[in-house]
Structure 1
Amino acid sequence: RFGTEMVGEDIVEVDFSKRPFAIKSDQREVRAKAVIIATGAVARRMGVPNEEKMWNNGMSACAVCDGALPFFKNQPLMVIGGGDTAVEEASYLTKFGSVVYLVHRRDELRASKIMQKRAFDNKKLEIIWDTVFEDAIGENFVTGARVQNVKSKEVKDISVSGIFYAIGHTPNTQMFEHQLDLDATGYIKVKAGTQETSVEGVFAAGDVHDHKYRQAVTAAGTGCAAALEAERWLAEQNV
């Protein structure tokens, strides 16, 4: 409608050091006066044997996205992790599951004190200490989880209908290293209250800069904001 060209190619390199900016795929190089980066972030996985088979069949990395699905309702669920995100997602899942097991490899949580109190006070949340997740059990859908105690080495199977990873995300920003300011975990830094990056004319939207909410609706909102800011910036440049 607006003359936009959709190209299904992977970007392999960018150059924001000169204008117009250069964006290279394995097939072409294009030049742009403004760029919006929306490369997202990928949930970290553990690589257990049945992970690929069970992914989206009872395994997920987003409790907020998937926890309310009907097949998790009144079922035992499991969250892997020990930080704020893990505790928050486990607490959220107690609204739907019959019980939520929080599996953590250490004997204390890394979460903040207030989040820990929330976990300890929740009667539907059971913490399994000193334990690592070994694999998902099931044929076509998760029916259990295999875990191992790191101290006793005891292996046991726990009946659950859902397994949720809460071990962090990795932003897709490798190609922007040394081009844009990134935070310690690799997310693109944007100026407060804007979608502007450290390079004028380059904007970021979605999970590539947002490590807090990571929701489709918030990503869409920042995408809209980035588009408006890019349009205004181009107008200011008399483009």
Structure 2
Amino acid sequence: MYKAVILGTGPAGLTAAIYLARANMEPVIIEGPEPGGQLTLTTEVENFPGFEQGILGPELMETMKKQAKRFGAIFKRGLATKVDLKNAPFQVEVDSLGTIETEALLISTGASAKMLGIPGEKELLGKGVSTCATCDGFFFRDKKVIIVGGGDSAMEEATFLTKFAKEVNIVHRRDELRASKIMQDRARANEKITWSMNCTPVSVVSDGMKTSGLEVMNNDTGKKEIIDADGIFIAIGHHPNTGFLKGHLRLDDQGYIIVEPGTTNTSVPGVFACGDVQDHKYRQAITAAGTGCMAAMDCEKYLEGERMIDWSQNMS
């Protein structure tokens, strides 16, 4: 029996672990198959406060983990596959540990970027291939970049990248975009944005060290060509890691956990959600860390006896 269990070790989970450990709540953190979350897939992080010269993503996560351990947080490896949240104590089935019980549960399992599944993509992640324009756009000042996608996110990221890149090429496998008209109009009005429509990505091309272009196939002619680029941004959406929670918590249409506005309270009192698993808008390390702090404080109040009402019954 544990007081508090945290699922996930990204910025949200590790921040929650630091706060709960300092409050003598003896949190147990379950590290999934990708300890540290998406930041471990990046290189330099320059927009996390406190690091004037930037810091490598894996180094930032390892530093946060050591900080949590310093205050007594306990880390265990495993993947949560099933939960029973009908009554406290809650039960969590972990593939490497069996069933564990906890008085409070914090979920920070994050959201994974959808990938294209083409050769070279994974190998060059962090070496010219990125899933976050806000995070990595600065590194491509005066460079040529590609955005793959046709939705609002792709148009938004393409427009954002024009602040840095000298040319942004939008590659989309259909001849029509899925983005809203206002987002399309905004992108089409930008002189820095070019278009490669009805083109299917085939592989990421490298010069042996870093990304140098994207091989695409024209869907009409079947002809392949290489579009030169210093960076490739994948903007085809994210999927929250909440498959094991369906039927146990309130989720939105996309699978993100619904929380009470202004808090991290889920539809089950004593279960809290923080980080990208409940945020499909910002998805930044610093916003995730902020909600991790909130979840820990909400959890602490809950464990100290401030039992919360089931607010979800009043939700639309």
TM-score normalised to the size of structure 2? 0.71
**C-alpha deviation, 1:160, in angstroms:** 0.4
Instruction: After superposition, give the CA deviation of every residue in 1:144-185 in whole Å (9 maximum; x if it has no partner).
Output: 111112122221111101001000111111111111111111
Q: 1:157 aligns with which of 215, 221, 226?
A: 226
Instruction: After superposition, give the CA deviation of every residue in 1:85-122 in whole Å (9 maximum; x if it has no partner).
Output: 00111111111111000011222221122211210111
SS in 1 for 2:184: helix
Structure 1 outlier segments of 4+, above 4 Å: none
> Within 1, Cα distance between the matches of 2:265 and 2:197?
42
**C-alpha deviation, 1:194, in angstroms:** 1.9
**C-alpha deviation, 1:30, in angstroms:** 2.5
**C-alpha deviation, 1:237, in angstroms:** 4.4
> Within 1, Cα distance between the matches of 2:200 and 2:166?
22
Q: 2:249 aligns with which of 161, 180, 205?
A: 180
Amino acid at match of 2:195: I
Q: 2:284 aligns with which of 206, 215, 218?
A: 215
> Within 1, Cα distance between the matches of 2:75 and 2:216?
45
Structure 1 match to 2:213:
144
Identity of aligned residues (%): 44
Alignment of 1:83 with 2:151, yes or no, is: yes
**C-alpha deviation, 1:4, in angstroms:** 2.8
Q: How does 1:9-158 map to 2 (within 5 A)?
A: 9-25=78-94, 26-69=96-139, 72-138=140-206, 139-158=208-227
Amino acid at match of 1:169: H
SS in 1 for 2:77: coil
**C-alpha deviation, 1:18, in angstroms:** 2.1
**C-alpha deviation, 1:28, in angstroms:** 4.0
SS in 2 for 1:31: strand
Structure 2 match to 1:191:
260
Alignment of 1:204 with 2:276, yes or no, is: no
Structure 1 stretches lacking a partner, 5+ long: none
Structure 1 match to 2:298:
229
SS in 1 for 2:215: strand
Instruction: After superposition, give the CA deviation of every residue in 1:196-236 in whole Å (9 maximum; x if it has no partner).
Output: 11111111001101111111011111111111111222223
**C-alpha deviation, 1:29, in angstroms:** 3.1
Aligned length: 236
TM-score normalised to the size of structure 1? 0.93
Structure 2 stretches lacking a partner, 5+ long: 1-21, 25-71, 308-316
